[in-house]
Amino acid sequence: MKMPDYNFIPGIELNKGFYIDVVKPLLDREFPELKYTASLIGCGSDVLGYDNRTSMDHNWGPRLQIFLSENDFEALSGSLTKLFQYNLPFEYNGFPTNYTTPRYDQTQSMEWTTEYPVNHLIEVHTLSSYLKRYLGVENVAGITYREWLSFTDINLLEITKGEVFHDGLRELKSTREELSFYPFEIWLLRLAALWRCVENEEPFIGRCRENNDFLGIKTISARLVNYIMKICFYLEKEYIPYSKWTGTAFKRLKSYPAVEPTLKRVLVENDPEKIENYLVAAYEKLVELHNERTDLPRLDNKIQNFFGRPYKVIFAETIVQKLKQAVNDSYLKNINIDEVGLDKKLDSIDLDIKVQKKIFMILN
């Protein structure tokens, strides 16, 4: 698909202006007493702040969400949709406000028109229906630990990133604050789940080295680098985006300058012994970063040989145990750590979308 020669600006910037210059005046004129919230959240590289010119080919452009109260949604959602269909300008800041009909994958692209109705991308929701769609809950009051365990990082990112342009209902900002990161004991379990992944494979580098299994070393070491990066996110209390954006987001972490050079050496090195040495150096840096936090149990792990075998490990098993021991809630203490954080253990876009229901089935 050939994209017209648009001048790129970040989607958040574009749509903040779109709200102020176009949407707000329309609502003020036609519904002056209406209480509503306007935002750009949900799916999209523009929401996460990673968009560029390439992003403009689908689900990008003048777009936002309008949230109404339950009563107003029932009475006015259709009227608002029609208002925008017949009153939006055909372009804003050089971009069409009209979009193609949804394709087979539900994506849409900007498309010029000079006729009404405009096929716009201004969504009208209630907050409860939006949360239900993304998280499976209708509000954040009294979210249970079981529900927190069912949430995925990407769904939480989609709710908490982006920007709220106007919060007339006084709900969305507080909801985003409540969901800004996992509760303490869920955080402990999420960290433990990632360290379990390290535990499962850390001795395999040495074993593959003994067997001259170069492909095994490279694939396992790449997976371990992936887990190390994800642990860095959690140590900074940041949700982890899905694989396309993990490296981009990793660059924005405070720990990036301290960790990235070693991880890069793991990936580009071809000498098995050096790969192992770089990995254990990364484990030691993780322990150091962990211990810089005063709200986590202190770790004393040092690099050792694996039960007498000449494989260098951090003994991640003991890190998993220490994190689990810090959990006090009776329900969480009995959770199987292998069922926690499946969305981040397996880099599958399909799993990110469907994992909530799967976890509910497991835990129930």
Q: Are residues 141 and 191 in the same domain?
A: no
Q: What is the pLDDT, as a whole number, of residue 358? A: 66
**Is residue 206 a part of any domain in this protein?**
yes
Confidence of residue 352 (pLDDT cuts 50, 70, 90): low
> Which stretch of 140-154, 223-237, 240-254, 346-360 has the lowest confidence by average pLDDT?
346-360
Q: 185-231: per-residue pLDDT in tens? A: 999 999 999 999 999 999 999 999 999 999 999 999 999 999 999 99
Structural domain range at position 88 = 11-178
Q: What is the pLDDT, as a whole number, of residue 342? A: 84
**Is residue 3 a part of any domain in this protein?**
no
**Is residue 169 a part of any domain in this protein?**
yes
Q: What is the pLDDT, as a whole number, of residue 353? A: 55
Confidence of residue 303 (pLDDT cuts 50, 70, 90): confident
Euclidean distance between CA atoms 322 and 262, whole angstroms:
26
Instruction: At 160, list the tokens.
Output: 């908490």
Euclidean distance between CA atoms 280 and 296, whole angstroms:
21
Q: Are residues 198 and 169 in the same domain?
A: no
Q: What is the pLDDT, as a whole number, of residue 5? A: 77
Confidence of residue 165 (pLDDT cuts 50, 70, 90): very high
**Is residue 221 a part of any domain in this protein?**
yes
**Is residue 194 a part of any domain in this protein?**
yes
Which residue, 90, 187, 194, is CA-closest to 148? 187
Q: 13-60: per-residue pLDDT in tens? A: 999 999 999 999 999 999 999 999 999 999 999 999 999 999 999 999
Q: Are residues 160 and 195 in the same domain?
A: no
304 or 235: which leads in pLDDT: 235
Residue 122 forms beta bridges with which residues? 64
Which residue, 93, 97, 92, 122, is CA-closest to 112? 97
Count CB neighbours of 255 within 10 A: 19
Euclidean distance between CA atoms 244 and 348, whole angstroms:
11
Confidence of residue 364 (pLDDT cuts 50, 70, 90): low
Q: Are residues 199 and 226 in the same domain?
A: yes
Decide which of 178, 196, 224 is a domain's last residue: 178
Decide which of 178, 206, 241 is a domain's last residue: 178
Euclidean distance between CA atoms 69 and 310, whole angstroms:
64
Mean pLDDT computed over 272-282:
95
Residue 321 above 70 pLDDT?
Answer: yes
Q: Are residues 204 and 294 in the same domain?
A: yes
Instruction: At 188, list the tokens.
Output: 């402990």
Count CB neighbours of 189 within 10 A: 26
Q: What is the pLDDT, as a whole number, of residue 355? A: 65
Task: Give residue 243's Cα distance to chain centre.
Answer: 10
Mean pLDDT computed over 139-165:
94
Q: Could you tell me the CA-to-CA distances from 268 to 246, 260, 264 in Å, in that order?
A: 19, 12, 6
Mean pLDDT computed over 84-91:
98
Euclidean distance between CA atoms 156 and 176, whole angstroms:
9
Which residue, 80, 81, 242, is CA-closest to 161? 242
Q: What is the pLDDT, as a whole number, of residue 344? A: 87
Nearest-10 Cα torsion for 310, 311, 315, 317? -110
Percent of the chain clearing pLDDT 90 (strictly above):
85
Strands 63-67 and 121-125: parallel
Q: Are residues 67 and 164 in the same domain?
A: yes
Which residue, 236, 258, 240, is CA-closest to 249? 240
Cβ atoms 227, 283 nearer than 8 A: no
**Is residue 226 a part of any domain in this protein?**
yes
Q: Are residues 247 and 105 in the same domain?
A: no
pTM: 0.93
Q: Are residues 336 and 206 in the same domain?
A: yes
**Is residue 1 a part of any domain in this protein?**
no
Q: 93-103: per-residue pLDDT in tens? A: 999 999 999 99
Domains contained in the chain, number: 2
Q: Are residues 88 and 130 in the same domain?
A: yes
**Is residue 204 a part of any domain in this protein?**
yes
DSSP string, 249-283: HHTTSTTHHHHHHHHHHHHH---HHHHHHHHHHHH
Query: 3-class secondary structure for 89-137?
Result: CCEECCEECCECCCCCCCCCCECCCCCCCCCCEEEEECHHHHHHHHHCC
Q: Are residues 165 and 40 in the same domain?
A: yes
Residue 295 above 90 pLDDT?
Answer: yes
Amino acid type, 288:
E
Q: What is the pLDDT, as a whole number, of residue 307? A: 83
Q: Are residues 97 and 234 in the same domain?
A: no
DSSP-derived letter for residue 144 is: -
Q: What is the pLDDT, as a whole number, of residue 177? A: 98
Q: Are residues 309 and 263 in the same domain?
A: yes
Decide which of 151, 178, 205 is a domain's last residue: 178
